[in-house]
Structure 1
């Protein structure tokens, strides 16, 4: 009993310390976004003495915030929806078709998860640049689907594998097609892992900088690209940059908070078979 209480206390304190470490950068962004530049340079760790919202007003103008927000929302929503549709159907096929093709395909998908984009960036852009229209949001969405389908399928596959095949067989005896079985019976049961897939991919796509900087022009830039405008070659406006970062992360944090319960459930059920 004493060992159990000691273990809980250690877990509590370790968790608390880690939480403070992770929250510290957010604290810096928050407090410095309300400071004038001289206060940030004097003491970036202190609370604002001269409280100001000028940084937010200037950040909105310089970022062209609402246009950048629209681009981020469009790219993220279309990419995540496409990944959910494609990955869920692919995972259902791979989990139900027990043959060599499905096993090899699944192993290739899992193996591709360990290859970083940076290792593929130069040959990837050289291959697709002549085919697809660069500086186009549709091309960027296509790239996100290709790079995100492996992890999304992996999460769905683990969850679907735990759903009894007897449900499929019973529906098939009643005359339901494979399409009907999946969309009317299986997919509604996938809501926890669907929330997980949505959050994981939305966080990645919303915050991604490398792919948009390679594929988008100035008029189509997303919020991460817009926050880069505050940093010059020899100077940076830290107050406006902090305000811009805060404006950029608020929507995705709100999205996560809405789906956090389903996210935790999906991670525990879908990632481990």
Structure 2
């Protein structure tokens, strides 16, 4: 009976895996097809595997420029998110007064607000600041990075906050007695212990920022500033959609994130389990 139950569980998990992987299969297979083959049978293999459409997609997307823009925005945003969120969470967790509690709960509450409800006032504010003060927040990668830091800080602080509460405060007290400053206590004692949750925060933010389409589409106008999701969007025209080119572009978009996830996946469950749950 136990053997039957185990086999049933394995079969169910296998079928669920096929279900969740089916969109990736469809995107990958159709990226090699001509338009006529694509419309004949979406699930069938192409007559021949050729990189013709990938070469065309890379040329149309200006792929290497878009890739560098996405890498720059993602890396800089994640670095600042990790530094600022970890320090903020540490101060909020160790202060222990009602002000820090109010600040923390306010940050958590912002996670419940859909971005779509604030995007128009945000764009009016950003364009006004850019026009009146000259600070490049609109149609600039620096402005996009600034907004990414703000929008992704709440989740990161939440994860760090739970993890920091599980660190014995005696370690920090010992470092203080040894003569370490508050800055030294955090960077030499606390931050190295945060490695598992830092990896989780990095992975989650890399995936969110790399795949983000809505915010870059609102803030970036020039072709030279487009990120990869924006470049892929232009295969979907008003009257025609080049599905094979679009599928090739989507595959190129997915590959870097998949590689990064495979390398770092072991930290996700470990970090969330040791951080947010505690």
The normalised TM-score by structure 2 is 0.94
- Shift in CA distance, 6/190, structure 1 to aligned 2, threshold 3 Å: farther
Equivalent position of 1:152 in the other structure: 156
For 1:182 and 1:96, locate their aligned partners in 2 and report how far apart those are by CA, in whole Å.
Answer: 11
Please report the TM-score for the alignment, with normalisation by the length of structure 1: 0.95
Instruction: Please state if 1:202 is matched with 2:200.
Output: no
Q: What's the CA shift for 1:12?
A: 3.4
> Which 4+ residue blocks in structure 1 deviate beyond 6 angstroms?
none
Cα distance between partner residues in 2 of 1:57 and 1:221:
19
| Cα separation, partners in 2 of 1:10 and 1:125, compared to 1, 3 Å | farther
Structure 1: tracts of 5 or more residues without a match: none
* Equivalent residue in structure 2 for 1:168, among 165, 172, 176: 172
Shift of 1:129: 1.8
What is the CA–CA distance in structure 1 between the aligned matches of 2:219 and 2:33, rounded to whole Å?
Answer: 34
Q: Indicate the larger mover: 204-213 or 45-54.
A: 45-54
Residue 21 of structure 1 deviates from its aligned partner by 1.5
Q: Indicate the residue corresponding to 2:133 in structure 1.
A: none
Following superposition, the deviation at residue 27 of structure 1 comes to 0.2
Q: Which moved more, 1:131-140 or 1:80-89?
A: 131-140
Paired residue secondary structure (2:129):
coil
**1:260 maps to 2:265:** yes
2:195 aligned partner: 191
Give the SS at the match of 1:162.
coil
Given that residues 84 and 198 in structure 1 are in contact (C-alpha distance below 8 angstroms), is that contact kept between their aligned partners in structure 2? yes
Q: Tell whether 2:238 aligns with 1:233.
A: yes
Per the alignment, do residues 47 and 151 of structure 1 end up closer, same or farther by CA in structure 2, a change over 3 Å counting? same
Give the deviation of 1:51 after TM superposition: 2.3
Q: Any conservation in 2 of the 1:36–1:50 contact (CA below 8 Å)?
A: no
* C-alpha distance in 1 between matches for 2:123 and 2:186: 36
Q: What CA distance in whole angstroms lies between the structure 1 residues aligned with 2:6 and 2:114? A: 37
Aligned match of 1:18: 16
Aligned length: 271
Q: What per-residue deviation string (whole Å, max 9, x for no partner) do you get for residues 217-273 of structure 1?
A: 221000000001211111111111111111111111111111111122111111212
Q: How does 1:11-90 map to 2 (within 5 A)?
A: 11-90=9-88
Q: Check conservation: 1:191, 1:262, Cα contact below 8 A.
A: no
- Structure 2, unmatched stretches of 5+, are 131-135
Alignment counterpart, residue 122 of structure 1, candidates 116, 120, 123: 120
CA RMSD after TM alignment: 1.4
For residue 6 of structure 1, report the CA deviation from its aligned partner: 6.7
Secondary structure, in 3 states, of the residue corresponding to 1:145?
A: helix
Query: Deviations for 1:172-201, whole angstroms, at most 9, x for unmatched residues?
Result: 111111111110111111111111101111
In structure 2, distance between residues paired with 1:144 and 1:7? 46
State the Cα distance separating 1:158 from its structure 2 match. 0.7
2:225 equivalent in structure 1: 220
Could you say what secondary structure the match of 2:46 adopts? coil
Alignment CA distance shift 1:187-1:237 (3 Å): same
In the TM superposition, what is the alpha-carbon distance from 1:22 to its structure 2 partner? 1.3
